[in-house]
């Protein structure tokens, strides 16, 4: 299992002290982007490595796996000499057995220009000591996560995968770029279509802080934004040329995006920056900031498909949890009374070697009663539990290990209809020291978006202490809140619900539903995680029957079953298909 489990302090944003130094996989690889890393410190007495804060020491080269002559070790490089071809390349190997300095020196003597060490599973990159021979190492040495290393390895072995390691500011003559933290995104990655019916209700602003990392000033910089939906262009705008001096950043604004109506699906927003001079480092000249429209899923995280739910890539928890942990998303809308909420989808995992079976995660819906216009309003004093009115809650208990790192759905005990302009927090919560909950990609950074709209996004708490931006605006919770049309017939009519418990759950081929005090024609409606009706069955049942339903044709995922009986009563429950 590939997991990236991180222990974080709530008060600190997830950045390393070496934030100016990057480990950037080059285009055209589909894995292009910046990766979390640490590097050997040039100020340490047990290393002679170059100072990576100096752009002159940056490395741009092909990556290659490094192997020694051991018959049992896989790329540990603890028995020199290195027998694979790393000459002129960035040598890649695994942590373990011998000292970091010994590994790096063996690669250096084989001609490597830098060394990348992949750390242990489920552990962060760490500070590295050079050991007995580290003072002989004169090439950069960095460490990346196991999940990153295992993702990159197939391309490394295939050949042609290039990486930039270092501080690229001033490294290239001509180098414009876009950082993930510097783009205005849509206010949420997934918005509710019923609340976004036309341009008056949904018109996201667009703009980017364009940075000139290069040596040369650029006098004719142009920002372009293109949006496609369902394969068709729905927006394409370019700015007037602007000047961006070397080492400086300039905010470039574009017209807002608006439509007379919005269809459900993904809107692919791509920012790109260019000038009259060819760019020496084009990998960061473009940036994708997609957003979605949905009938039912509200989320700040990317949702590749509604059936799968939010994209959870890494798993975090506080380093020293003290009391209940709450991971929340904020919501407010002037037309909120059109919708209600019924539950939350999320993913979680546990510490290595500890089963998630039996762990419990709660879900809460709060009204946030503090009155303020935006984060600059003097009335805004942060998040305080005294301002949170609990409206409804629910519980999800893990049974078995199949749901580890899988999106699951926890319904609220009661659905609630929202009020116009009221503020809400929708949260998942746990107290276990063994739980890590899912978060989206680090490229999903809301820093500039929040600075632009000045609204809270995803507060977190530990015990009674609340943090307005949780782990940081660049660490987005991978949770989705399920909405429904307040004016439609809800499947949750409390007055005539009959509780039933299907089994097995999770299921593969069939589920069995014990029935009591119902008979006659029964309609079974099956909805996927997005609320889309995927199947309807009609069967005749009798009192005391165990109804067996074939689910073998359903894809893996979470489904809601709605049973309507001949007497008008209903039953509603969720089933996970785990095949």
Residue 11 in any domain: the answer is no
Model pLDDT, residue 71: 66
Same structural domain, 338 and 453 = yes
Same structural domain, 133 and 201 = no
- Domain at 142, CATH number: 3.50.30.30
Return contacts of 378-383, CB within 8 angstroms, 24+ apart: 382/466, 382/468, 383/425, 383/456, 383/459, 383/461, 383/466, 383/467, 383/468
- Work out the average pLDDT over 127-147: 94
- Work out the average pLDDT over 185-212: 96
Same structural domain, 342 and 421 = yes
Same structural domain, 368 and 406 = yes
Residue 6 in any domain: the answer is no
SS3 content of the chain, % helix, strand, coil (to 5): 10, 40, 50
Residue 162 in any domain: the answer is yes
Q: At residue 575, does pLDDT exceed 60?
A: yes
Same structural domain, 246 and 208 = yes
Same structural domain, 332 and 456 = yes
From 241, 272, 294, the end of a domain falls on 294
- Domain at 439, CATH number: 2.60.120
How is 138-199 classified by DSSP, letter by letter? -S-EEEE-HHHHHHHHHHHHHS--EEEEE--TTTSSS-EE--GGGB---SSSEEEGGG--ST
Backbone torsion region of residue 531, taken as left when φ is above 0, otherwise alpha when ψ lies between -120 and 50, otherwise beta = left
Residue 525 in any domain: the answer is yes
b/e for 498-524, b at 16 or more Cβ within 10 A? eebebeebbbeeebebebeebeeebeb
User: What is the residue whose two structure tokens read 């791509």?
Assistant: 270
Same structural domain, 443 and 305 = yes
Same structural domain, 477 and 514 = no
Model pLDDT, residue 305: 79
Model pLDDT, residue 441: 65
Q: Kindly report which listed range (110-114, 182-186, 507-511) carries the lowest average pLDDT score.
A: 507-511
Q: Kindly report which listed range (189-193, 354-358, 422-426, 512-516) carries the lowest average pLDDT score.
A: 354-358
Q: Is the peptide bond before 506 cis (omega within 30 degrees of 0)?
A: yes
Reported in sequence order, the residue ranges of 1-74 that DSSP labels E, i.e. its strands, are 5-8, 22-25, 33-34, 37-39, 59-65
The CA distance from 69 to 82, in Å, is 7
Q: Which two tokens stand for residue 269?
A: 């927003």
The CA distance from 531 to 106, in Å, is 57
Q: 9-57, pLDDT tens digit by residue?
A: 332 222 333 336 889 898 788 888 778 899 999 999 899 999 999 988 9
Q: At residue 429, does pLDDT exceed 50?
A: yes
Higher per-residue confidence, 113 vs 22: 113
Same structural domain, 477 and 507 = no
Same structural domain, 437 and 547 = no
- Residue 135's pLDDT band, with cuts at 50, 70 and 90, is very high
From 456, 485, 514, the end of a domain falls on 485
C-alpha dist (Å) from residue 143 to 41, 222, 500? 12, 36, 52
Same structural domain, 184 and 156 = no
Q: 544-558, pLDDT tens digit by residue?
A: 888 999 999 898 888
From 417, 452, 485, the end of a domain falls on 485
Residue 8 in any domain: the answer is no
DSSP state, residue 258: -
Higher per-residue confidence, 82 vs 65: 65
Find all residues with CB under 8 Å of 278, minimum gap 6, and list them: 174
Strand partners for 461: 326, 466
- Residue 338's pLDDT band, with cuts at 50, 70 and 90, is very high
pTM > 0.75: no
DSSP state, residue 452: H
Model pLDDT, residue 131: 93
Residue 73 in any domain: the answer is yes
Q: At residue 188, does pLDDT exceed 80?
A: yes
Residue 569 structural domain: 494-577
Model pLDDT, residue 578: 84
- Residue 8's pLDDT band, with cuts at 50, 70 and 90, is very low
Q: At residue 176, does pLDDT exceed 70?
A: yes
Strand partners for 190: 292, 299
Residue 143 in any domain: the answer is yes
Q: Kindly report which listed range (49-63, 79-93, 385-399, 487-501) carries the lowest average pLDDT score.
A: 487-501
Q: Is the peptide bond before 79 cis (omega within 30 degrees of 0)?
A: no
Structural domains in the chain (count): 4
Backbone torsion region of residue 448, taken as left when φ is above 0, otherwise alpha when ψ lies between -120 and 50, otherwise beta = alpha
- Domain at 537, CATH number: 2.60.40.1930
Beta strands 206-212 and 176-177, pairing class: antiparallel
- Residue 387's pLDDT band, with cuts at 50, 70 and 90, is very high
Q: Which two tokens stand for residue 296?
A: 């039912």
Same structural domain, 265 and 242 = yes
Q: Is the peptide bond before 213 cis (omega within 30 degrees of 0)?
A: no
DSSP state, residue 305: B
Q: Which two tokens stand for residue 281?
A: 């480092």
Model pLDDT, residue 402: 62
Residue 91 in any domain: the answer is yes
Is 249 within 8 Å of 210 (Cβ atoms)?
Answer: yes
């Amino acid at each position: 299992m590939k997991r990236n489990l991180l222990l974080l302090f709530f008060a600190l944003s997830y950045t390393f002290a070496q934030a100016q130094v990057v480990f950037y996989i080059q285009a055209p690889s589909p894995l292009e982007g910046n990766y979390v890393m640490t590097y050997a410190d040039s100020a340490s007495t047990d290393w002679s490595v170059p100072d990576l804060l100096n752009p002159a020491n940056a490395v741009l080269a092909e990556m290659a796996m490094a192997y020694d002559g051991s018959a049992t070790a896989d790329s540990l490089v603890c028995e020199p000499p290195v027998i694979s071809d790393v000459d002129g390349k960035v040598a890649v190997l695994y942590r373990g057995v011998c000292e970091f300095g010994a590994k790096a020196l063996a690669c250096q003597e084989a001609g490597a220009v830098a060394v990348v060490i992949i750390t242990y599973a489920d552990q962060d990159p760490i500070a590295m000591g050079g050991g007995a021979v580290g003072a002989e190492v004169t090439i950069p040495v960095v460490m990346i996560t196991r999940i990153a290393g295992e993702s990159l390895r197939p391309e490394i072995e295939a050949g042609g995968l290039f990486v930039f390691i270092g501080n690229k500011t001033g490294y290239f003559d001509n180098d414009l770029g876009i950082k993930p933290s510097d783009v205005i995104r849509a206010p949420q990655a997934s918005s509710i279509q019923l609340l976004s019916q036309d341009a008056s209700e949904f018109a996201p602003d667009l703009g980017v802080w364009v940075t000139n990392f290069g040596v040369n000033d650029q006098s004719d910089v142009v920002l372009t934004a293109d949006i496609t939906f369902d394969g068709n262009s729905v927006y394409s705008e370019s700015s007037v040329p602007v000047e961006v001096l070397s080492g400086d950043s300039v905010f470039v604004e574009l017209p807002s995006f608006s439509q007379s109506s919005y269809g459900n699906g993904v809107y692919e927003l791509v920012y790109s920056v260019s000038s009259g001079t060819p760019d020496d480092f084009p990998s960061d000249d473009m940036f994708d900031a997609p957003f979605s429209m949905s009938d039912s899923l509200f989320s700040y995280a990317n949702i590749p498909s509604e059936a799968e739910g939010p994209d959870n890539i890494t798993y975090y928890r506080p380093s020293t949890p003290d009391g209940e942990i709450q991971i929340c998303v904020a919501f407010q809308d002037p037309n909120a009374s059109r919708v209600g909420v019924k539950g939350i989808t999320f993913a979680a995992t546990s510490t290595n070697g500890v089963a998630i079976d039996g762990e419990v995660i709660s879900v809460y819906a709060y009204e946030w009663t503090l009155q303020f216009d935006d984060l600059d309003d003097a009335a805004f004093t942060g998040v305080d539990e005294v301002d949170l009115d609990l409206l409804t809650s629910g519980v999800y208990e893990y049974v078995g290990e199949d749901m580890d790192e899988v999106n699951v759905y926890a319904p609220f005990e009661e659905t609630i209809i929202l009020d116009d302009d009221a503020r809400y927090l929708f949260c998942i919560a746990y107290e276990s020291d063994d739980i890590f909950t899912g978060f989206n990609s680090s490229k999903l950074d809301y820093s500039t978006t929040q600075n632009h709209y000045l609204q809270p996004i995803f507060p977190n708490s530990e015990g009674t202490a609340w943090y307005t931006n949780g782990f940081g605006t660049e660490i987005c919770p991978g949770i989705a809140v399920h909405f429904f049309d307040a004016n439609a017939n809800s499947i949750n009519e409390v007055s005539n619900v009959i509780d039933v418990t299907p089994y097995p759950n999770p299921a593969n081929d069939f589920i069995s539903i014990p029935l009591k005090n119902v008979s006659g024609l029964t309609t079974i409606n099956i909805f996927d995680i997005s609320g889309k009706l995927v199947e309807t069955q009609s069967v005749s049942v009798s009192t005391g029957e165990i109804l067996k339903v074939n689910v073998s044709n359903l894809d893996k995922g979470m489904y809601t079953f709605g049973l309507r009986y001949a007497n008008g009563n209903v039953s509603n429950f969720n089933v996970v298909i785990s095949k």
